[in-house]
Amino acid sequence: MRFKNPIPLAEIASLIDAELIGDPQAQVTGINEIHRVESGDLVFVDHPKYYDKCLRSAASYIIINAKVDVRKGKALLVVSDPFVAYQQIVSTYQPFDPISKPIADSAVVGPGTVLMSGVCVGPRAVIGKDCIIHPNVVIGAGAQVGDRVVIQAGTVIGSDAFYYNKRPHRPLPYTRMLSCGNVIIEDEVEIGANCTIDRGVTHETRIGAGTKLDNLVQVGHDTRIGKNCIIAAQVGIAGATVIEDGVTLWGQVGISKTLTIGAGAIVLAQSGVPSSLEGGKVYFGSPVEEASQKKRELVWIKRIPQIWQRLNGQSGS
């Protein structure tokens, strides 16, 4: 999340009651997760396993629950509970903004765009020109939709991320991490009916120009889908995944989080993708393998009863 204006580090330290180690005059430009941080950003870390990764990241300021050595040019905000501090920062600088009317006053709708019955457009959302938005579509706060986009009935753009902090010692251990990112849909995208596209936790979920989604597709938070991809019905894509240009995902493909599918890859129906895939190849199975290899395996599997009978016959002779 980028702040509207840079915020003094000392102001944030006061807000979260942190001990500031570093320059109190420093200016903070945003808050992001570790995989999306840039210079000027805040990041939070609450487990020693990830201290070093955060300290070596591009983030300039680290909310942390221990005093550690810090590199030149960085600063620490030491608190007892960094997750609570993150929640407080987000709720202060991007407070909950409910959708109180079908088209928010701060929303922008381009010329030639058609909004059908029941469409809901949230605060600060922007829709480009010559789009067709079918009945009962929800376009959430801050979402950006390009030109000549088609969104079919019942789709939700910009729902909160499915992202929780777990604390096993509590009777209700899961606390939702507040989402302050958005969704960006580029030009000429078509999205089918009853799709759900979650906004980023702190950054963006993006769908590239010319990409087409069938009905009932789930796109997780912070996922980046490239240009001219084809995604068939009932595909599920977990968070922070990168799908490069020209990828085809056929029906009911399931994709795990934080992986990359290379440009031009084709994943055949009902496949499960647990790790990154090279581009330009055809894949099948769960877990996926190159389709030609998987098909050979299936041929041999079908021969197992015949081989078993032959071996038993030989042993009994």
Q: Distance (Å, rounded) from C-alpha 133 to C-alpha 177?
A: 30
Is 221 among the catalytic positions? yes
DSSP 250-289: -TT-EE-SS-EE-TT-EE-TT-EE-S-B-TT-EEETTTTE
305: cis peptide before it, omega within 30°?
A: no
Its sign, for the CA torsion 256, 202, 194, 153, is negative
For residues 112 and 120, give the distance between their C-alpha atoms in angstroms, rounded to a whole number.
17
- With contact defined as beta carbons under 8 Å apart, do 256 and 275 qualify? yes
Confirm if 198 and 161 have CB atoms less than 8 A apart.
yes
Cβ contact 189:167 at 8 Å: no
**From 35, 169, 203, 221, the catalytic residue:** 221
Straight-line distance from the first to the last Cα atom of the chain, in angstroms, rounded to the nearest whole number: 75
> Is the CA virtual torsion 266, 236, 258, 96 positive or negative?
positive
Give the catalytic positions in this structure: 221
